[in-house]
Amino acid sequence: MHVTTAESCTGGMISSAIVDVPGASSVLTEAYVTYSNEAKMRLLGVKAETLEKFGAVSGETVREMAEGAKRVTKADCVIAVSGVAGPDGGSEDKPVGTIYAGFVIGSRSWVRNFRFSGTRREVREQTTRMALEELYINLVSKFIA
């Protein structure tokens, strides 16, 4: 089973957490930090229209990030995240702490939305934990079902 990540607001924290575990090289195929919209489009195939219509911090964008990473790497599982870590950059619709996460396991993809609070680092750490937990729970349920 191979995993890849496509990260924006976490800046590589998710892939770093995976690499912290011995044997990670047999699981983590590639990892992308696509902080800019240009990188999201160039590396992951996120559509300019999606970014213009919904913004980088949106369910639509993280779904395209996750599905693009899956297409590019052929990984079995993908985690993609984008959000507003703060302390600036929030808006009324998307305040600081707004996080969207997209996941792919096999042919199934889904998006989750979260609101975290705390410092920039705390929001990024909470996002990392949530993303890994979400993947774990869905992998376990896939093999138990």
Q: How many CB atoms lie within 10 A of CB 26?
A: 9
Residues of the chain with pLDDT > 70, as a percent, come to 99
pLDDT computed for residue 145 by the predictor = 56
Q: What does the domain layout of the chain look like in residue ranges? A: 3-144
CATH of span 3-144: 3.90.950.20
For the chain, residues with pLDDT lower than 50 are: none
pLDDT (tens digit, 9 = 90+) per residue, 30-62? Answer: 999 999 999 999 999 999 999 999 999 999 999
Output DSSP code: residue 139.
H
pLDDT computed for residue 124 by the predictor = 98
Kindly write down the DSSP assignment for every residue of 35-78, as one continuous string: -SHHHHHHHH---HHHHHHH-SSSHHHHHHHHHHHHHHH--SEE
Cis? peptide before 87, omega within 30° of 0: yes
pLDDT computed for residue 142 by the predictor = 72
Please give the model's pTM, rounded to 2 decimal places: 0.95
